[in-house]
């Protein structure tokens, strides 16, 4: 079994100060896809020792940034999306990593961070352009015939069940018809599977993001905007999922919750020597 976690950390250094370390020590996912890393490359390695860490860093200091941190060896990485304006190609929002399996297959894992957007603004235009570029890349990944999963903060709730107050957000970025239609096209036209929804079933949520403001967290007034979408062959191997929502508001170290899916994949043993070494290093770091 292989655990893949996606997490918007809201700044990896701040998250570690607030309590991410103990969570990571207790869970130690085989593959961790991070968004909003907000840190240069030389910072991530010491915070995630014993793992193979790859990043796409935003050209604007302290903004965005995605990473793939793996206990497995990474064969190749690719950064960015084609089809965007030059200034949008180095925003730290898309990173692909190819992970070889023992049976000779390779699975592609992507960490993606979609713009938050703002209805009627230039920010929303950037968001829609990024979603369009994602669509083209998803089409290419599906056509390649390789198992693939795209993890990340998509900043879009696809259906009414994916956010508590959907009626109050019909005109807000994150639940606009044109955004939701893009996700529908991924599932209906390109064949990608919303793994979280498939495993959770037809019910409200489960949510992965709650505003810091008011009592949104306490009342579970959240959004399901953190996804793992997979090619059908890989989605069929998804066995279980977990959302690590803290018990209390004051125990939060990000406004998102880690979202983990367990896949039945060959070639990776969580109790292997490399996994034990990584956990040992992480225990030393987070117990200081």
Give dist(CA 152, CA 116) in Å, integer. Answer: 13
Please say if 153 is a catalytic residue: yes
**Percent composition of the chain: helix, strand, coil (DSSP 3-state, to 5):** 30, 25, 45
Closest CA to 9 of 113, 134, 164, 124: 113
Closest CA to 197 of 163, 162, 232, 234: 162
Cβ atoms < 10 Å from Cβ of 185: 15
The distance in angstroms from the start CA to the end CA of the chain is 31
Given 3, 30, 153, 194, which residue is catalytic?
A: 153
Cβ atoms < 10 Å from Cβ of 251: 10
Cβ atoms < 10 Å from Cβ of 76: 12
Helices (H) and strands (E) in the chain, counts: 8, 12
Give dist(CA 104, CA 241) in Å, integer. Answer: 26
Catalytic center residues = 153
């Amino acid at each position: 079994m292989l655990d893949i976690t996606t997490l918007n950390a809201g700044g990896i250094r701040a998250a570690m100060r607030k309590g991410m370390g103990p969570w990571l020590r207790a869970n130690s996912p085989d593959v961790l896809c991070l968004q909003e890393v907000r840190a240069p490359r030389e910072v991530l390695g010491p915070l995630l020792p014993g793992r193979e860490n790859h990043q796409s860093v935003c050209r604007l200091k302290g903004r965005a940034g995605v990473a793939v941190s793996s206990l497995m060896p990474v064969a190749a990485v690719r950064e960015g999306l084609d089809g965007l304006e030059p200034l949008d190609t180095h925003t730290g929002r898309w990173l692909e990593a190819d992970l070889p399996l023992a049976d000779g297959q390779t699975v592609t894992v992507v960490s993606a961070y979609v713009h938050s957007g703002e209805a009627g603004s230039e920010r929303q235009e950037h968001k829609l352009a990024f979603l369009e570029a994602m669509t083209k890349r998803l089409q290419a990944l599906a056509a390649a015939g390789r198992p693939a999963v795209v993890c990340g903060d998509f900043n879009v709730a696809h259906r009414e069940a994916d956010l508590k107050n959907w009626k109050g957000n019909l005109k807000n970025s994150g639940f606009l018809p044109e955004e939701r239609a893009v996700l529908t096209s991924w599932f209906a036209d390109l064949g990608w599977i919303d793994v979280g929804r498939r495993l959770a079933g037809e019910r409200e949520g489960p949510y992965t993001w709650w505003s810091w403001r008011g009592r949104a967290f306490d009342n579970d007034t959240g959004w399901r905007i953190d996804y793992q979408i997979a090619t059908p062959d890989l989605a069929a191997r998804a066995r279980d999922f977990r959302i690590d929502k803290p018990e209390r508001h004051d125990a939060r170290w990000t406004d998102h919750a880690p979202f983990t899916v367990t896949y039945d994949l060959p070639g990776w043993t969580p109790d292997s020597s490399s996994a034990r070494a990584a956990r040992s290093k992480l225990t030393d770091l987070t117990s200081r």
